[in-house]
C-alpha cells in the first residue's frame, strides 16, 4: 500500500531535527565499542563455544581442516566457516535479510556440502546470524513489534509446512525454484528502477533520499559522523483501527493490514523453509515493492521474521518431520554454529552502518542481489550449474 504522505507532527514527537541526536531506549547514548564489548562479543563467544560443544556431543571430535565434518563429508577450516558467516551476514543484513541466500549456494558450490542436511544446517546460521542485527537495529530504534508480529506469525505457520512440501511434492525442486526465480528477477528489476527514481528525487530535493543527503551534509559540517538517518529515529505505531496499523518513520507514514502481513509471511515461510533459507530474500523485496517501505523500516519486520521462521523450520526438520514421516534430516550443528558466530558480528556491523548508506543505494544493492539470485534459479532450470541450488 502506498505511503499516506508526510505527517508533519511526527517530527516533533519521534524523529529528530536534521542535526539532532536521539538517545537510545535506555535514555543515553552508548558508544559503539562499549556496545560491542557488552552485547555482541559475549553472544559471539557463546555461539562459537556452542559450536565446539556441539561438535564433541554430536561426533566426539572437533572437525576442521584436517578432520572432515562427518555429516557434511567435507574438510574445511573452522575460520573459513566463521568468515563465510561474517561476510554473508554483513552483506545481507544491510538490506534486512539473513545470510542464507548467499551462504547456501556458497556452501554447496565452494565448500561442497550438498547433501539434504545442508538445508537445516543453513537454517542454524539463519537462526543465529540475525541476532546481531536484531540487537543493533533495536538500539537504533528501528524496531516495531506491531509491524513485525503478524508477519512473524505467518512465517512460523508456513515453516511448519515447508519441510513437508520439500520432502514430498518438491522432490524435483527445479520447476518450483524456476517460478521463484522469475518472480525475483521481476522484483529485483523493479527495485533497481525505484532506486533510479530515488536518486533523481534526491537531486531534486524531494523524498527520503533528499532528507538523507541534507542530514549527512549538516552533520559533516557540524563535525559529526555523516549519518544520513538521525541516530535514534524511531519506527512508531501511530494508530490501530480494525485490520489496519499505521506506522511512521522520519516524517512519513504507511498503513498496513495485519491480515495481509500474515498472508505474505505465510507464503514466504512455506517457500523459504522448503528451500532451507531464512525468507528475507523474498520478504524484503515484497515489502519494499508493495508498500513502498524504505529499507530502514523493512528491517523492523524482516529481521525478527527470519529468526522466527528459521527456529520453527529447524524444529520441523529435526523433530516433527522424523516423528510424522520417519525420515530424519540431521543438521551439522557445529558447522552452523561456527558460521553463525561470524554472522552475528557481520549482521551487527550492518546494523551500525546502514544509516550511513542512502536509500537508493540500499535499493540498488537489494535489487541487484534479488535479481542475481532469481537469475540463478532461472538458469538452473535450463543449464547445469557448477553448484546446486
pLDDT digits (tens, 9 = 90+) for 162-186: 888 877 776 666 776 776 677 778 7
Local confidence band at 19 (pLDDT 50, 70, 90 cut-offs): very low
Mean pLDDT of 284-292: 86
What is the reported pLDDT for 388?
60
**DSSP letters along 284-297, please?**
HHHHHHHS---HHH
What is the reported pLDDT for 379?
86
Model confidence pTM above 0.85: no
Weakest-pLDDT range from 7-16, 290-299, 333-342, 343-352: 7-16
Residue 218 burial by Cβ neighbours in a 10 Å radius (0-12, 13-18, 19+): middle
What is the reported pLDDT for 119?
81
What is the reported pLDDT for 386?
66
- The overall average pLDDT reported for the chain is 82
Identify the helix (H) or strand (E) that includes residue 255.
Answer: strand 252-256
pLDDT at 27 over 50: no
Identify the helix (H) or strand (E) that includes residue 268.
Answer: helix 258-275
Q: Which three cell numbers stand for residue 48?
A: 562459537
Question: How many helices (H) does the chain have, and how many strands (E)?
Answer: 17, 4
Mean pLDDT of 236-247: 91
Q: What is the pLDDT of residues 69-105, one digit of tens each?
A: 999 999 999 999 999 999 989 988 888 777 877 888 7
Residue ranges of E strands in 15-154? none
- Residue the block writes with cell 491480515: 259
* Strands of 5-6's sheet in order across: 5-6, 252-256, 245-249, 235-240
Distance, in Å, from the CA atom of 17 to the CA atom of 230, rounded to the nearest integer, reads 8
272 in Cβ contact with 282 (< 8 Å): yes
What is the reported pLDDT for 23?
43
pLDDT at 14 over 60: no
End-to-end CA distance of the chain: 32
Weakest-pLDDT range from 197-206, 281-290, 358-367: 197-206
197 in Cβ contact with 306 (< 8 Å): no
What is the reported pLDDT for 16?
39
What is the reported pLDDT for 224?
82
Q: What is the pLDDT of residues 55-64, one digit of tens each?
A: 999 999 999 8
Amino acid at each position: 500500500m502506498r505511503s499516506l504522505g508526510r505527517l508533519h507532527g511526527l517530527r516533533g514527537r519521534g524523529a529528530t531535527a536534521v542535526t539532532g541526536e536521539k538517545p537510545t531506549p535506555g535514555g543515553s547514548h552508548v558508544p559503539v565499542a562499549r556496545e560491542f564489548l557488552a552485547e555482541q562479543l559475549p553472544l559471539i563467544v557463546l555461539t562459537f563455544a556452542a559450536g565446539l560443544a556441539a561438535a564433541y556431543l554430536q561426533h566426539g571430535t572437533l572437525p576442521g581442516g584436517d578432520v572432515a565434518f562427518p555429516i557434511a563429508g567435507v574438510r574445511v577450516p573452522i575460520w573459513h566457516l566463521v568468515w563465510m558467516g561474517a561476510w554473508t551476514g554483513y552483506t545481507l543484513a544491510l538490506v534486512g535479510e539473513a545470510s542464507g541466500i548467499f551462504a547456501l549456494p556458497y556452501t554447496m558450490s565452494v565448500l561442497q556440502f550438498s547433501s539434504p542436511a545442508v538445508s537445516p544446517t543453513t537454517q542454524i546460521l539463519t537462526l543465529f546470524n540475525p541476532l546481531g542485527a536484531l540487537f543493533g537495529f533495536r538500539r537504533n530504534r528501528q524496531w516495531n513489534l506491531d509491524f513485525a508480529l503478524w508477519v512473524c506469525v505467518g512465517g512460523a505457520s508456513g515453516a511448519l509446512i515447508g519441510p513437508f512440501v520439500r520432502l514430498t511434492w518438491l522432490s524435483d525442486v527445479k520447476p518450483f525454484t524456476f517460478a521463484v526465480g522469475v518472480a525475483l528477477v521481476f522484483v529485483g528489476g523493479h527495485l533497481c528502477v525505484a532506486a533510479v527514481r530515488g536518486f533523481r528525487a534526491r537531486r531534486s530535493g524531494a523524498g527520503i533520499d533528499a532528507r538523507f543527503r541534507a542530514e549527512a551534509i549538516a552533520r559533516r559540517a557540524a563535525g559529526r559522523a555523516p549519518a544520513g538517518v538521525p541516530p535514534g529515529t524511531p519506527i512508531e505505531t501511530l494508530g490501530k483501527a480494525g485490520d489496519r496499523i499505521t506506522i511512521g518513520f522520519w516524517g512519513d507514514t504507511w498503513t498496513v493490514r495485519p491480515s495481509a502481513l500474515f498472508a505474505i509471511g505465510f507464503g514466504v515461510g512455506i517457500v523459504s523453509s522448503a528451500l532451507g533459507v531464512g525468507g528475507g530474500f523474498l520478504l524484503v523485496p515484497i515489502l519494499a515493492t508493495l508498500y513502498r517501505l524504505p529499507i530502514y523500516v523493512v528491517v523492523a519486520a524482516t529481521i525478527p521474521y527470519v529468526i522466527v521462521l528459521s527456529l520453527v523450520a529447524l524444529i520441523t526438520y529435526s523433530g516433527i518431520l522424523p516423528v510424522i514421516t520417519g525420515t530424519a534430516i540431521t543438521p551439522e550443528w557445529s558447522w552452523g554454529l561456527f558460521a553463525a558466530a561470524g554472522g552475528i558480528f557481520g549482521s551487527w556491523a550492518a546494523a551500525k552502518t546502514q544509516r550511513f548508506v542512502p536509500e537508493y543505494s540500499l535499493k540498488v544493492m537489494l535489487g541487484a542481489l534479488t535479481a542475481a539470485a532469481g537469475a540463478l534459479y532461472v538458469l538452473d532450470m535450463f543449464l547445469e550449474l557448477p553448484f546446486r541450488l
